[in-house]
């Protein structure tokens, strides 16, 4: 089963295995479609963490 995640920065939906970058923040993994998105996240993580969520593949 594919787990679809949302890039917290740009809001794009992607399969987690297709993510360009994965960052762990406060024990939660965040997936990004590109390196530039992860850079923006690292710059101001609090701004983006609220919108990050796993949309499917939750047990």
Beta strand ranges found along 4-49 (DSSP E): 4-6, 13-15, 21-25, 28-32
Q: Give me the least distance between CB of 54 and Zn ion, in Å please.
A: 16
Given the rule CB under 5 A, which residues bind Zn ion?
A: 7, 10, 12, 33, 37
Residue with Cβ nearer Zn ion (20 or 57): 20
Residue with Cβ nearer Zn ion (5 or 33): 33
Please tell me the total number of residues recorded for the chain in this structure. 59
Q: Give me the least distance between CB of 13 and Zn ion, in Å please.
A: 10
Beta strand ranges found along the chain (DSSP E): 4-6, 13-15, 21-25, 28-32
């Amino acid at each position: 089963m594919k787990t679809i995640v949302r890039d917290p920065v740009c809001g794009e939906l992607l399969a987690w295995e297709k993510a360009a970058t994965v960052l762990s923040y406060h024990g939660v993994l965040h997936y990004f479609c590109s390196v530039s998105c992860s850079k923006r996240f690292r710059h101001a993580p609090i701004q983006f963490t609220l919108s990050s969520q796993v949309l499917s593949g939750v047990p």
